């Protein structure tokens, strides 16, 4: 190997580990291991104090060969790796942090030790910090005679100048206790009625010396009725506390029941899923509900499902109705929503390929929307929207059933907007209020899959990660989530995974927006490179497949089958998942192009259009100079052009995410199949108006 461009200097590298800061709740023993080429060592095991500080004050030395460029005096890369390890019971070890330092950067300052205080790469939201010092001293030529021959060319040191760091498996990272820290974050984005109740801390018992005999006597007195209530088992039909489900949309976790303070206890005799005696929203009781007479329909009732029927008459609209009738209809809406609907005796499907079973509650809800004119009467609209989140829907209701039920209702109501000659008043209000519930339900189901990416997000923000390793970990975790969510419906898979990507994009963008201490051009370029590498790694293959020919030049059997694909299958093949991080990359581009954006404020409409202007100004004002962009940023002209204050700026919260349009799911649903859903005798007797909307043959 030729080194005519470099001067070789053999030095002793001294590394002194002073202290490590870890989360205070850890009580295990920690040590710091380091290695440089074939040389490695480790500190003693020590426990942290109450503030999480671990003092080592241990000094290590290792011979290194420093290469100095003869022309520009630059120093060749020389990496030392540090690993912070937590020792659990037995011989098990978990990695809490990792750090790579190029000690060559500090060779020019070898006259005195260089003190460093650096955040380590970690999977935890609170990164550990290590304090150490680095110094160099020359090795005398007559120090060790046998060692002199190795000083000419230290092969181990040269070959490992830019060696790959230690590969840490995902399961070896220390993530214990992160669930408790993220409990509140998991609740974020769910509607109030779907949030889990907060845990109340038990009251502390008085100290023995403070106990009063009279108070103890009173404490032992228990009301007989209260004791009876406590000891009695829960009656059948009563409701348990409503808790959030974090399962995926395809998991087997049942949808929990409503909160006791939002939905009162059902009648004890309610064993067949009948409507409760008390509603969630107080409405005075009245005489038995009667269906409002409908105008006579055409002889062919199936024409109700065609656009031609909609154009001629509007079932949504009628003349003004008296308040008593409106009140009855609102009560009927609540009764239908709070009923547990029985499954169909025969499975009827919504899609053309007969794969998606029709949810039992979907069509009764649609019939009630039409019958009670929910899209026209505001009181009925409020009754529907206030109770849809509490609806039990069906027996053994899973997240997937709730997903399809909400989707069917939204698609049906949205379809009504494109029908001619329709008079409606609250279709937009209905869609605007039910759509967030649909998105929040789907988001809550996907929360479980977001948790592994929080550690990757923390490692990204430290800027001390290994690019290929972090990209590989992201691809692995994303593949695991995609494998679990995958179903036999390509269109649904594509929709759910693209929705999941918007959640990840918001998660990474929010973390970067809070890392104001690391805002500089170098880090922004590193973050943008990570997102670009992930997008390139997971880009779908758009290259056309080469045609295979037999020896006779005739098409193969596979090619003949390919020609027979239906139009629907051709459409589904077009849906390829494209991994993108638009909002996160906008933050990176904003930091990188900050000198240009300050001079040309109109560029914010293209570079960072999804970031609030006040947040843009806050980021520009807090960018740190570095070697790439050494000059500071002045935002006075930018704030003046955007009518923003130039002082005391406070960032606005980023938008949750840009929700994927659910209308694309309409390609999956065959509306003509709805009328084939069979009538259940028990249901029709209780809700006779169903006959006007569902026509089919009885069993």
Question: d(Cα 204, Cα 34) in Å, to the nearest integer?
Answer: 46
Q: Which residues contact 594 (CB under 8 A, 6 or more apart)?
A: 521, 619, 620, 623, 629, 633
Question: d(Cα 468, Cα 317) in Å, to the nearest integer?
Answer: 61
- Split at pLDDT 50, 70, 90, the class of 236 is very low
Tokens linked to 1: 């190997």
- Each residue of 444-459: b (16+ CB within 10 Å) or e? bbbbbbbbbbbbbbbb
Question: d(Cα 505, Cα 510) in Å, to the nearest integer?
Answer: 9
More confident residue, 74 or 243: 74
Report how far Cα 561 is from the mean position of its chain's Cα atoms: 40
- Split at pLDDT 50, 70, 90, the class of 584 is very high
Question: d(Cα 544, Cα 501) in Å, to the nearest integer?
Answer: 26
Residue 263, pLDDT above cutoff 70: no
Mean model confidence pLDDT for the chain? 70
- Split at pLDDT 50, 70, 90, the class of 466 is confident
Question: d(Cα 429, Cα 407) in Å, to the nearest integer?
Answer: 16
Question: d(Cα 221, Cα 165) in Å, to the nearest integer?
Answer: 67
User: Of 59-68, 222-231, 528-537, 558-567, which one has max mean pLDDT?
Assistant: 528-537
Whether the CB-CB separation of 121 and 127 falls below 8 Å is answered with yes
Residue with tokens 């479980």: 448
Whether the CB-CB separation of 375 and 425 falls below 8 Å is answered with yes
Whether the CB-CB separation of 626 and 522 falls below 8 Å is answered with yes
Counting beta carbons within 10 angstroms of the beta carbon of residue 199, is it exposed (0 to 12), middle (13 to 18) or buried (19 or more)? exposed
Each residue's pLDDT tens digit, 75-121: 888 888 899 988 887 678 888 888 888 888 888 777 788 888 888 88
pLDDT of residue 214: 53
Whole-number Cα distances in Å, 123 to 98, 214, 265, 398, 592: 10, 54, 44, 32, 26
- Alpha-carbon Rg for the chain, nearest whole angstrom, is 33
Whether the CB-CB separation of 129 and 117 falls below 8 Å is answered with yes
Question: d(Cα 44, Cα 32) in Å, to the nearest integer?
Answer: 8
Provide the residue ranges of all domains of the chain, joining segments of one domain with +: 6-178, 235-448+669-699, 463-540+568-641
- Split at pLDDT 50, 70, 90, the class of 232 is very low
Each residue's pLDDT tens digit, 419-450: 544 556 678 888 888 888 888 888 888 888 88
Residue 529, pLDDT above cutoff 90: yes
Pairing of strands 29-36, 39-42: antiparallel
Q: Which of 512-519's residues contact partners 24+ apart within 8 Å by CB, and which partners?
A: 512/460, 512/461, 512/584, 512/587, 512/588, 513/587, 513/615, 513/619, 513/651, 513/654, 515/461, 516/619, 516/622, 517/624, 518/461, 518/463, 519/591, 519/619, 519/622, 519/623, 519/624
Whether the CB-CB separation of 440 and 447 falls below 8 Å is answered with no
pLDDT of residue 96: 87
Report how far Cα 403 is from the mean position of its chain's Cα atoms: 17
Name beta bridge partners: 62.
Answer: 13
pTM (2 d.p.): 0.59
Q: Assign 3-state DSSP to the chain and report helix, strand, coil percentages, each to 5.
A: 45, 15, 45
Which secondary-structure segment (H or E) carries 31? strand 29-36
Each residue's pLDDT tens digit, 282-313: 333 333 434 334 444 444 333 333 333 333 33
- Split at pLDDT 50, 70, 90, the class of 589 is very high
Each residue's pLDDT tens digit, 622-666: 999 988 888 888 889 899 998 988 888 888 888 766 667 766 677
Report the CATH architecture of 6-178: Sandwich (2.60)
């Amino acid at each position: 190997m030729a080194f005519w461009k470099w001067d070789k200097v053999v030095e002793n590298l001294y590394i002194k580990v002073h202290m490590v800061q870890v989360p205070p709740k850890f009580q295990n023993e920690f040590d710091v291991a380091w290695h440089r080429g074939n040389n490695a060592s480790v500190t003693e095991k020590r426990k942290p104090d109450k503030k999480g500080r671990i003092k080592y004050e241990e000094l290590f030395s290792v011979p290194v060969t420093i290469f100095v460029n003869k022309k520009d005096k630059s120093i060749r890369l020389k990496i030392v790796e540090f690993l912070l390890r937590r020792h659990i019971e037995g011989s098990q070890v978990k990695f809490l942090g990792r750090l790579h330092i190029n000690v060559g950067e500090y060779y020019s300052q070898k006259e005195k030790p260089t003190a460093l205080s650096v955040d380590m790469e970690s999977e935890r939201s609170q990164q550990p910090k290590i304090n150490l010092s680095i110094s160099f001293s020359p090795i005398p030529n007559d120090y060790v005679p046998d060692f002199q021959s190795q000083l000419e060319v230290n092969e181990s040191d040269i070959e490992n100048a830019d060696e790959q760091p230690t590969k840490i498996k995902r399961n070896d990272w220390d993530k214990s206790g992160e669930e408790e820290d993220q409990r509140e974050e998991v609740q974020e984005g769910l509607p109030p009625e779907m949030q889990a109740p907060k845990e109340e801390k038990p009251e502390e018992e008085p100290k023995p010396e403070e106990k009063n005999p009279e108070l103890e006597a009173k404490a032992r007195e228990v009301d007989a009725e209260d004791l009876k209530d406590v000891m009695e088992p829960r009656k059948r039909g009563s409701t348990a506390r409503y808790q959030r489900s974090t399962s995926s949309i395809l998991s087997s976790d049942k949808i929990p029941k409503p909160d006791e303070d939002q939905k009162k206890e059902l009648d004890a005799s309610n064993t067949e899923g009948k409507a409760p005696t008390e509603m969630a929203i107080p409405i005075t009781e009245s005489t038995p509900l009667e269906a409002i007479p409908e105008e006579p329909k055409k002889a062919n009732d199936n024409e109700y499902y065609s656009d031609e029927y909609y154009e001629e008459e509007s079932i949504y609209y009628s003349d003004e109705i008296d308040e008593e009738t409106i009140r009855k209809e609102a009560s009927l809406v609540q009764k239908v929503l709070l009923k547990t609907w029985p499954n169909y005796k025969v499975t009827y499907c919504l899609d053309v390929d007969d794969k998606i079973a029709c949810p039992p509650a979907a069509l009764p809800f649609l019939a009630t929307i039409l019958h009670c004119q929910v899209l026209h009467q505001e009181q009925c609209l409020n009754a529907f929207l206030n109770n849809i989140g509490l609806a039990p829907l069906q027996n053994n209701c899973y997240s997937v059933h709730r997903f399809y039920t909400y989707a069917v209702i939204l698609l049906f109501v949205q379809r009504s907007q494109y029908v001619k000659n329709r008079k409606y008043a609250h279709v937009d209000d209905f869609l605007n209020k039910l759509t967030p519930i649909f998105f929040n339900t789907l988001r809550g189901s996907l929360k479980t899959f977001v948790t592994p990416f929080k550690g990757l997000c923390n490692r990204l923000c430290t800027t001390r990660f290994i690019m290929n390793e972090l990209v590989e970990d992201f691809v692995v975790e994303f593949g695991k989530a995609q494998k679990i969510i995958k179903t036999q419906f390509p269109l649904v898979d594509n929709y759910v995974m693209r929705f999941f990507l918007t959640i990840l994009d918001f998660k990474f963008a929010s973390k970067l927006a809070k890392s104001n201490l690391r805002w500089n051009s170098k880090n922004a370029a590193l973050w943008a490179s990570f997102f670009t590498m992930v997008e390139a790694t997971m880009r779908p293959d758009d290259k056309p497949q080469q045609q295979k020919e037999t020896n006779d030049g005739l098409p193969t059997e596979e090619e003949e089958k390919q020609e027979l694909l239906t139009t629907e299958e051709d459409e589904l093949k077009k849906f390829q998942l494209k991994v993108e991080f638009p909002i996160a990359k906008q933050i990176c581009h904003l930091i990188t192009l900050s000198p240009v954006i300050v001079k040309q404020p109109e560029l914010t409409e293209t570079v960072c259009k999804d970031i609030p202007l006040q947040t843009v100004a806050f980021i520009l004002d807090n960018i740190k100079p570095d070697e790439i962009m050494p000059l500071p940023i002045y935002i006075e002209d930018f704030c003046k052009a955007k009518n923003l204050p130039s002082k005391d700026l406070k960032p606005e919260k980023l938008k949750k995410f840009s929700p994927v349009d659910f209308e694309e799911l309409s390609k999956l649903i065959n509306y003509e199949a709805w009328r084939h859903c069979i009538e259940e005798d028990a249901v029709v007797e209780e809700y006779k108006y169903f006959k006007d909307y569902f026509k089919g043959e009885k069993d």
